[in-house]
Amino acid sequence: MTGLDFITPSSISFSVYPNPSSGNFTIDYSLNEKARIKVLLFDMTGRQVSELINKDQTSGNYTYHSNDLNILHGTYILKIYKDNNPAGGKLIVVQP
């Protein structure tokens, strides 16, 4: 498994790599129109661990690099919202 790739009906596509990760990962995404983007990380109990992105963006390609999130190894749910329409999947964090 090298990453997490999604294309959703809400006109956003994104990938997350590497996955599994040591806690540092990259999110690449593209928008075909202006939108409010929010990216949240949840633990497996549903508790929000981090808000990675929360801003209005124009159409185009974007990259986000996680930096020292200080999260434990385990499985997380990464959700990306475009104008409150969610998509997402699992992110696995392993000890380095």
User: Domain segments of the chain: what residues?
Assistant: 4-93
- Which DSSP category does 82 fall into? E
Q: What is the pLDDT of residues 19-40, one digit of tens each?
A: 999 889 999 999 989 999 999 9
Which residue is associated with the tokens 């498994």? Answer: 1
CATH code at 4-93: 2.60.40.1930
**Would you report the helix, strand and coil content of the chain in percent, each value rounded to 5?**
0, 60, 40
User: Side-chain half-sphere of 77: how many Cα atoms within 13 Å?
Assistant: 12
Q: What is the pTM of this model?
A: 0.83
- The predicted pLDDT at position 1 comes to 40
